[in-house]
Every structure is written in structure tokens, then in C-alpha cells.
Amino acid sequence: MAEWNHESVWGALDALATRHGLSPSALARKAGLDPTAFNPSKRRGPEPDKRPRWPSTESIAKVLAATGETLDTFVGLAQRKAKIPSRAVKAGGRLAQSFRPVPLIGLAQAGAGGFFDDGGFPAGQGWDEITIPGSADDSAYALQVAGDSMLPLYRDGDIIVVSPSARVRRGDRVVVKTTGGEVMAKILRRQSATELELASFNPDHAGRVVAARDVAWMARIMWASQ
């Protein structure tokens, strides 16, 4: 059947991962598999032919058991070629159109040293990988939300994709890292030469005013799984 091809089967696995707020690696771990089993880099063989590699039926069965999904669900996703995961939307609300791999770490991990350079771009080791709706921005990377501080907009386990190279304007959703290692996702209310005024997504959490000298970097939130 035309619906069953290399792209659609892997797309179904990606859609299941996104539906459960997981990266491909986290989905593999949840299913008791090697964490790299579903990474995009493992889906084709080496150069020069780069022959397609397929997930085994045992792997798919373990994923379905771990997520509580049915085979019918997986078949349906594959038959639709999983063009857009059911929870995948841009931060602005429009559906994205294609997929590409980007680096991923947890938002809580992002405060640790060694993950970013001075401009807020991914660096060092420890990054996972996730497949997201495509973007022409090669500097984009993903952060996984932990806790309830970003409710009601983003939930625990949601994935947000940020770009340190995108222009940031008043009203944009942003991730800010301070020179002290704190990482926070907020709404930019005002930016001056001396400070940032940030509003919280969750009304139960107060906003913040951060001195410009205390900001290591700021990146705009471009996309989110919801």
C-alpha cells in the first residue's frame, strides 16, 4: 500500500512521541529500548547509499504497550503519513508543514553549564534529538517543559522550540537565561538598555524585572507541541 513507506512509519512513531510529550529518545527509553533507537540519524544507513532502516515490529509493539496506544492508532497515523502530529502547532497558532531534527534538552537542564555558548546556541554534550515541524532556522533547538510554572499555556512535558537568532519584539514569548544560570520562559513586556520586564504565563507566578547586565541571552519561542 502506498501509505506504508519509510517516511510514514517513522512519522507515526514521531507523532506518538509528540502526542505523549516525548522526544524520540524519551519514547525509546519509555519502551525499554536503547535511547538512540529512534533518533533521526539512525533511520538511514551510512553513505553513499543511505539505505532506509525500519523500526522492528517488536519495537513498535513495545512502544504501543508503553504508551497505552493501540495498533489501530499506529496504523491510522501511518496511513495519514503523520504529516502533522495532532498536538503540533506553532506558537502563533498556525500548523507547520514538514519535519526536521533539532537538539533537545529539558528546560531544567538548560541552567547547567556547558549546554550553550555565549549567544544562546547549543554547545557541548548531553543534547538529545527530536523531530519537529520544519523550519528554515538552523539555529533552532527544543526545550522540554517541567512543572506548572508555564500553565495554562504550556504543560509539564510539552516541547517548546526556540531560536536565538530570531528577532525579539515586545509581546513575544521568550526563554531568558541569566548570568547566574537561571532559565525562565516568559512574555517580553518591555526591553530597554538597562532592563527586561517579563510577564509570566501562569497568573499565579509573578512577573520579573531583570537587569540587562544580568541577561546571558534571550531566545524567541517559535513553536510548541500542544
What domains lie within the chain, and their CATH numbers? Answer: 6-86 (1.10.260.40), 90-225 (2.10.109.10)
First-to-last alpha carbon distance for the chain, in angstroms, is: 31
Higher pLDDT among residues 25 and 134, named by residue: 25
pLDDT at 19: 75
pLDDT at 133: 63
CB within 8 Å of 40: residues ≥ 6 apart:
24, 101, 129, 131
Confidence of residue 4 (pLDDT cuts 50, 70, 90): low
- Give percent of the chain with pLDDT exceeding 90: 26
Query: Which phi and psi angles does 12 have, rounded to 5°?
Result: -65, -40
CB atoms within 10 A of CB 176: 22
pLDDT digits (tens, 9 = 90+) for 16-51: 887 777 788 888 989 999 988 888 888 888 877 788
What pTM was computed for the model? 0.58
